Amino acid sequence: MPANILMVILIALPQGGVSASFVNVDALEECESRLGRIRPVLEQESDTLLHAGCHLSTAQFSLFDHDPPVDAPRFPYEITIKGASAEVRRLAGGDDCDSSGANRGEMAFALCVTSTQELISTEQ
């Protein structure tokens, strides 16, 4: 059974742009517990942490690597978060990312991000 909860962490990059990290978990309680343990570390760099949350999602990602190679490829995504749900789509070269809603409030936004993780599936 695929995970249906996606931990999403969005961090502003010093050179501009937003880096995303994703962790698929099986239960909201597990996600919130794991996020609670790492949140203090994330908040130490509070000026770069844009979002950290647990969301319902059909997106399945490759495993998170704490120390990816410096030259690891980065994949472009558009992430839309609306309340408890997160939708992620991989952008192909030339695809436009609609960040017009990036400032619609804390519980609803769309944002272009990059990640070293690969989107495996958006199907359940």
- Classify 44 as helix, strand or coil: helix
Question: pLDDT tens across 68-85, in order?
Answer: 888 889 899 999 999 899
Q: What is the pLDDT of residues 24-50, one digit of tens each?
A: 999 999 999 999 999 998 888 667 899
Q: How far lies 35's CA from each of 9, 46, 80, in Å?
A: 9, 15, 20
Give the alpha-carbon dihedral of 74, 76, 82, 83, to 10 degrees. 0
Alpha carbons within 13 A on the beta-carbon side of 97: 21
The whole-number pLDDT of residue 98 equals 57
Give the global pTM: 0.84
In angstroms, the CA 3 to CA 94 distance is 30
For residues 88 and 101, what is the distance between their CA atoms, to the nearest angstrom?
Answer: 15
